[in-house]
Amino acid sequence: MNKLVCRTCGLMLMLSAFSTLPATACSLSLVLAMDGSSSVDHLEHDLQLNGLANALSDPEVVQAIEAVGGIWVMSFEWSGQRQHFLQFGWQFLEDTASAEKAASTLREARRGFIGFPTAIGYALGYAAVQMSRAPEPCARKVIDVAGDGINNDGFPPSSAYKAFDFEGVTVNGLVIAGEDTSPIQYYRQHVISGPGAFIEIAEDYNDYARAMKRKLIREIMGNGYASTR
């Protein structure tokens, strides 16, 4: 049995298990934070934007969303200390139509800023504020930070964790790999935080959609699906 079949079987088993659970309040509030710093060129930005859109509307991701009764999601682009661009505000995704609506909004989003540095600490602070504004309390709260570099502007992630409310929040990372592997270790040591936190690695920007899909399924279903790399 190949890896693809194994993963599909595992997902279907988890979907079946969730379908037997009683309906509860919102299962997940998810803040998506996409890197728009100067290290990301126009082509790479488009690959991220469309990769995230494709992942959100992927049939397997939609299956996971439906299995948990829907999730609250919002998305923003980050770069410098005060460069945060809202791609879409809080939306409740519960089926193919709502997931495709969010994906379409992403595909049509413009780039927020050009030429600013990588302020991960400030991005985390902004994400924490957005999480506090979620429309309803959910069983799990996850911030999903994607990027290809380390913090080089403003306060570091450790300061954000001290200054903002991350109580009960898990911060996961998606690292776009390159010749310099230091961002992978940086995200492991300084960015991810909270219960069950993990990183997903995209081999390059062309691999972004695959990595994001895998990451979203794991975040939606919980840490039982997909192993840490």
DSSP 131-195: HHT-SS--SEEEEEEEESS---SSS-HHHHHHHS--TTEEEEEEEE--S--HHHHHIIIII-BST
Sheet holding 169-176, edge to edge: 84-93, 71-78, 28-35, 140-147, 169-176, 199-202
pLDDT above 90 covers a percentage of the chain that reads 84
pLDDT over threshold 70, residue 69: yes
9, containing H or E segment? helix 3-19
pLDDT attached to residue 223 = 59
pLDDT surpassing 90 at residue 118? yes
Q: pLDDT-derived band of residue 8, with 50, 70 and 90 as boundaries? A: very low
Q: How confident is the model at residue 179 (pLDDT cuts 50, 70, 90)?
A: confident
> Which uninterrupted H or E stretch holds 49?
helix 42-56
Nearest to residue 228, comparing CAs of 196, 204, 198?
198
pLDDT score, position 164: 98
Residue 15: the pLDDT is 44
**Confidence check: pLDDT of 17 > 70:** no
Does the pLDDT of residue 142 top 70, yes or no? yes
CA torsion sign for 155, 169, 132, 79 is positive
Q: pTM value?
A: 0.87
